[in-house]
Structures are given as C-alpha cells and as structure tokens.
Copies of this chain bind each other. A is one copy, B any other.
Amino acid sequence: MPEPVTAVYEIETAGPLERAAEVMAGEQSSGTFLRVARETDDLRARHGATVVAVEELPASGRPPLPGMVGDPNEVRRGRVTIEFPMLNFGPSMPNLMAAVAGNLFELRDVGALRLVDLDLPIEFAERYPGPRFGVDGTRRLLDRPDGPMIGTIVKPSIGLTGEQLAQLVTELGEAGIDFIKDDELQGNPPGLPLRERVQVVMGALKAVADRTGRMPMYAFNITDDIDRLAENHDVVLAAGGSCVMVCVNLVGLAGLEYVSRRSQLPVHGHRAMYGAHARSPQLGIDFRVWQKLARLAGADHVHTNGFANKFYETDDEVLASINAVRQPLLGGYQALPVLSSAQTPGLAPLTYERTRTTDLLVLAGGGIHGHPDGSASGVLAMRQAWDATLSGESLDDRAAKVPALATALDTFGRV
C-alpha cells in the first residue's frame, strides 16, 4: 500500500481542536454531514482521512473569518496534521487538491484555515518529472557558472514599441546582464504581440551575442489560453529563445504542468495573483505548499519575492520562501529562487547575509531602469554591488571606485 499524503493546517475553531480536525478529515474523505447508507466501517477504514496530530498554538488575536459557528471569545488556534490515503485520488495533482484543500476553507467549524505544509509520496514523482533545467541548467544556458544571476524586468511593463524594446534589450545585453524577462502584464497584447516581440528581442540579442560573445536569457511571457501555450512556446524556441515564462496562477498549476511537460526551455514561474489566497494569515495556501506544487508541475524558476520588497511580506517570510524553494523535494526538483520587487544594488549585502547562497536569480526592474545614467549603468551597479559583497568589501568602498554604483546607492538608497 502506498504511503499516504500528509497535510498540515493551521486552524482556529470555537470548540475543541480535535473535533474540528475530525470534521475536516470526514468532510474531505468518506463523510458528509450525516452518515449515509453504504458508508461501512470497512469503507471508512480504507478511505477515511486520519487525524494524526493536533497541537495547540497561541491565539492569533484576529477576529475569526465570517461564518464560524460557536462563541468567538472561545476560539482556539492549533496545528492539525491529517493523512489522506492515496487510494482516494492517486498521484493526480488536481485531484489531490480536491482532498487536501477543496471545500475545507468554507467549513463553518473553523474561523481560520490555512494549508501550511504538504508531504507527498513518491508516486507523485513518477507522474510529474518536474523541472528539467533548475539552477544548473539555467547557469549553463546563461553562461554564469557561479555567483548570483543578475536580471531585470522590461520597464515600462507595457507600451514600448518594438524599436524601443530592441534598444533597451541591446543596452542591457551589452552591459552584460544575465537575464531579462517580460513583465507579467506583458502577455500577447494587440500593441506588441508575442510573435513580433520574440522577433524583435531575439534579433537584438543575437546582434549583442555577435558583438560580445554572450547572450542573456530572455523569459518571454507566454501566458495565455491553454490552447495557445504550446504554440507560444514553439515561437520562442524556433526563434532561438532560451526561456519561457508562465504566470502560474493565471493558467493554473495544471496549465503550468501542461507547459512544462512540452517545454524544451526552462520554465520561469511567476507568482502573480499569489496574494489572493495567501495574504490573510487565516486563510488559503502557504507559499511553502504552493512552491512545492509549482516545482512538481515543472517550474524551473520560482518567484519568491525579495528582501525589502515593495509588497506586504517581511524579510523573514521572504527568507523562508527562498529556503523552501532550495530544499530538495522528493529527493530532487531543483529550482531557482527568483528575487524581485523593488530590488536595488544596495540590497546585495542583506540578501547574501540572509541567504548565504548565490544560487539566486536577482531581478531589479526600476532598480536598473531607474538608474540616472541609464539601464547599462544600472546593470553595472548591480553586478558591482554583488561582487563587492562576495569579496567582503563594503558597498561604500566599492562605490568610491565605481561611479555607477555610487549613483545607484545615492538614488535607490543603502540598507
């Protein structure tokens, strides 16, 4: 018999934690709101989910989510671990999610419910081969054997003409950037359709490569209807592109899996819309779980957010996300954490101090394009900041020798 799936939840409930845990296990396996014919003890023994641990946690201090039954003043908070038999869904990610998530968030018995961890048996690895490039494959393709991979997002996100985009990409490529990506807002718009964008960008990058001997990886955002994904990928591949980007939540984890299974290029997994099921600490699916599913579905690159970002997450949360992506999953599934959101040269020391690794793709959008001397100076400043950090030199010492870094620190700040 295969090992079960283990799911861990943080919940709040107005009654005993154990009772809420039993409701969760029943609702998500063989039970319904009352016992029905044919629901034999034998069926329950084979198919029932099992509560294997309940641990009380300190109160959250937040009012319960709407619709909880019981006295809100009696709320207890706890961590609940439930095992689900593989017999109920087999190694299918969508069907797994029906069991471990599904209707759980809507239960009246809880005033908070968050899926915080998920352990899967090896059968999932057999069905889902996962990322084919990961850190090593990405380093090889963008020719950066060690050190952090420095990248950027095309800004403004949308609205550039083909000619402007070619200029920008050329400038970045000649400045030695490792990686460029479309913004998540740049899909396949009438203004500059993907097919045209691919031609423009690859033309510029090939010219750069002819002059410099290096070509940055460019992640083309191929997000669209499922029926267009394979063709979009093929357009990038045929033009000599080396990466495709997918907004995971916009095509679904199932859509990501569909792309990855066909992709001959690294798949850059953007997390747009992640906050919709994650920002309330009382609800939804934690990044720890989300990134496991994204890697299982084949994401080579996973957006983790960056330190001192412009969004809601704290540095501790960002660090936990980066560490989660770097932890082996079922013995493999190597993926590259992608740091972005208000990243600037001044953040290099903090980023390295917290992560102690250079297996990172660090993206600066405004932090490169907003450099007063232009994007090329922005790239130089990012590279120099990391180089100084890894050599144990202070950014100010390095800035005294590198004017582009000095200007970047003056413009974007030090940490």
Show the binding face of A for B, using Cβ within 8 Å.
28-39, 43-44, 46-47, 62-63, 65-68, 86-90, 92-95, 97-99, 101-108, 155-160, 164, 168, 184-185, 187-191, 223-227, 247, 249-255, 257-258, 261, 272-277, 279-285, 310-314, 342, 365-366, 369-370, 374-375
User: CA–CA, A306 to B252, complex, Å?
Assistant: 27
Residue of B nearest to A38 (CB): B164
Taking a contact as CB atoms under 8 Å apart, the answer to whether A185 and B88 are in contact is: yes
Which residues on the B side are within 8 Å of A44 (C-beta)?
Answer: 159
Report which of B43, B47, B157, B375 forms a contact with A30, defined as CB distance below 8 A: B157
> Would you call the interface of chain A mostly helix, strand, loop, or mixed?
loop
- B32 near A94 (CB under 8 angstroms)? no
Shortest A38–chain B CB gap in Å is 6
Residue in B closest to A47 when the chains form the complex, CB atoms: B159
Please state if B36 and A272 are interface contacts (CB–CB under 8 Å): no
B-chain residues with CB within 8 Å of residue A250 when the two chains form the complex: 94-95, 97-98, 252, 254
A236 to chain B, nearest CB (A): 16
Structural contact, B36 and A187, CB atoms closer than 8 A: no
| A160 partner residues in chain B, CB cutoff 8 A | 38, 43
A159 to B89, CA, bound (A): 11
Contact present for B284 and A187 (CB under 8 Å): no
- Which B residues touch A105, using CB under 8 A? 273-276, 279
Given contacts A90-B190, A224-B95, contact A102 B312 (CB under 8 A): no
Interchain CB contact under 8 A, A276 and B281: no
In the complex, the answer to whether A312 meets B156 with C-beta atoms within 8 Å is no
Question: Known: A158-B47, A258-B225. Contact between A185 and B65, CB under 8 A?
Answer: no
Copies in the complex: 2
Give Cα distance in the complex from A11 to B224, angstroms: 28
Check if B273 sits within 8 Å of A313, measured CB to CB. Answer: no
- Residues A187 and B311 in contact, CB atoms below 8 Å apart: no
Q: Which of B95, B365, B366 contacts A187 (CB 8 A)?
A: B95
Known: A103-B273, A276-B285. 20 other contacts (CB 8 A): A29-B157, A32-B370, A39-B156, A47-B156, A65-B312, A66-B279, A92-B188, A94-B250, A95-B224, A97-B273, A101-B273, A103-B311, A104-B275, A106-B274, A108-B312, A225-B254, A225-B257, A226-B226, A250-B252, A283-B283
Q: In the bound complex, how far is the Cα of B33 from the Cα of A252, in angstroms?
A: 28
Report yes or no: B168 in contact with A38, Cβ–Cβ below 8 A: yes
B252 touches A255 (CB 8 A): yes
Closest beta carbon of chain B to A34's beta carbon, Å: 5
Contact B156 A38 (CB under 8 A): yes
Contact indicator B30/A98 (Cβ below 8 Å): no
On whether A224 and B29 interact (CB within 8 A), knowing A252-B255, A284-B276, A312-B68, the answer reads: no
Verify B247–A98 contact, CB threshold 8 A. yes
* Interface hub of A97, A227, A282, A369 (most chain B Cβ within 10 A): A97
Chain B residues with CB under 8 Å of A247's CB are 94, 98, 102
Interface-centre pick from A108, A157, A258 (highest chain B CB count, 10 A): A157
Minimum distance in angstroms from A379 CB to a CB of chain B: 13
Q: Are A275 and B103 in contact (CB under 8 A)?
A: yes
Q: Is the CB of A158 within 8 A of B29?
A: yes
